[in-house]
Amino acid sequence: MWASRSLRCCLSICFVPTSFDLFCRGVFGLSLSHPLPRDLTRPVHVGGVQIGGGAPVVVQSMTCTDTADAQATLAQVCALAQAGCDIVRVSVPTEAALEGFRTICAESPVPIVADIHFNHKLAIGAVEAGAAKLRINPGNIGDWAKVDAVIDAAGAAGCAIRIGVNAGSLEQDIAEREDLTQPEKLVMSSERFVKHFEDRGFTNIVLSAKAHSVQTTLDTYRALSREIPHVPLHLGVTEAGTKLQGTIKSSVGLGILLSEGIGDTMRVSLTADPVEEPPVAWGILQSLGLRRRGPEIVSCPTCARCQVNLIPIAEEVTERLKNYSAPLSIAVMGCAVNGPGEASDADLGVACGRGQALLFSHGQIIGKVAEDQIVDALMAEVDKLIEEK
Tell me what pLDDT residue 26 has.
Answer: 40
Helix (H, G, I), strand (E, B) or coil at 332: strand
Question: Domain 296-388 in CATH: superfamily?
Answer: Sulfite Reductase Hemoprotein, domain 1 (3.30.413.10)
Distance CA 278, CA 284 (A): 10
Q: What is the DSSP letter of 274?
A: G
Residues in the chain: 389
Distance CA 274, CA 293 (A): 18
Distances in Å between the alpha carbon of 322 and those of 124, 279, 281?
39, 10, 15
Q: What is the DSSP letter of 375?
A: H
Amino acid letter, 63 = T
Contact indicator for 387, 324 with CB cutoff of 8 Å: no
Beta-bridge partner residues of 298: 331
Distance of CA 266 to the CA centre of its chain: 4
Number of neighbouring beta carbons within 10 Å of residue 155: 17
Q: pTM, whole model, 2 decimals?
A: 0.87
Contact indicator for 153, 132 with CB cutoff of 8 Å: no
Q: What is the mean pLDDT of residues 346-364?
A: 93
Tell me what pLDDT residue 136 has.
Answer: 98
Instruction: For residue range 257-271, list pLDDT tens digits in order.
Output: 999 999 999 999 999
Which residues carry a binding-site annotation for [4Fe-4S] cluster?
A: 300, 303, 335, 342
Helix (H, G, I), strand (E, B) or coil at 234: strand
Distance of CA 310 to the CA centre of its chain: 30
Indicate the angle between helix axes 70-83 and 277-287, nearest 10 degrees. Answer: 20
Tell me what pLDDT residue 21 has.
Answer: 43
Tell me what pLDDT residue 29 has.
Answer: 38
Per-residue b or e along 274-312, where b marks 16 or more CB atoms closer than 10 Å to that residue's CB: bebbbbbbbbbbbeeebbbbbbbbbbbebeeebebebee
Which residues carry a binding-site annotation?
A: 300, 303, 335, 342
Tell me what pLDDT residue 16 has.
Answer: 39
Contact indicator for 137, 238 with CB cutoff of 8 Å: no
Q: What is the DSSP letter of 211?
A: -
The DSSP annotation for 123-188 comes to: HHHHHHHT-SEEEE-TTTS-SHHHHHHHHHHHHHHT-EEEEEEEGGG--HHHHT-TTS-HHHHHHH
Q: What is the mean pLDDT of residues 79-105?
A: 97
Sign of CA dihedral 322, 323, 325, 330: negative
Q: Is CATH 3.20.20.20 what the domain over 35-288 is classified as, yes or no?
A: yes
Domain ranges of the chain: 35-288, 296-388
Helix (H, G, I), strand (E, B) or coil at 182: helix
Contact indicator for 289, 34 with CB cutoff of 8 Å: yes
Distance CA 240, CA 382 (A): 36
Number of neighbouring beta carbons within 10 Å of residue 376: 12
Instruction: For residue range 194-210, list pLDDT tens digits in order.
Output: 999 999 999 999 999 99
Rg (CA), the chain: 23
Instruction: For residue range 139-174, list pLDDT tens digits in order.
Output: 999 999 999 999 999 999 999 999 999 999 999 999
Tell me what pLDDT residue 78 has.
Answer: 98
Q: What is the DSSP letter of 308?
A: S
Helix (H, G, I), strand (E, B) or coil at 208: strand
Amino acid letter, 382 = V
> Parallel, antiparallel, or unpaired for β 49-51 and 44-46?
antiparallel
Helix (H, G, I), strand (E, B) or coil at 62: strand
pLDDT grade for 340, boundaries at 50, 70 and 90: confident
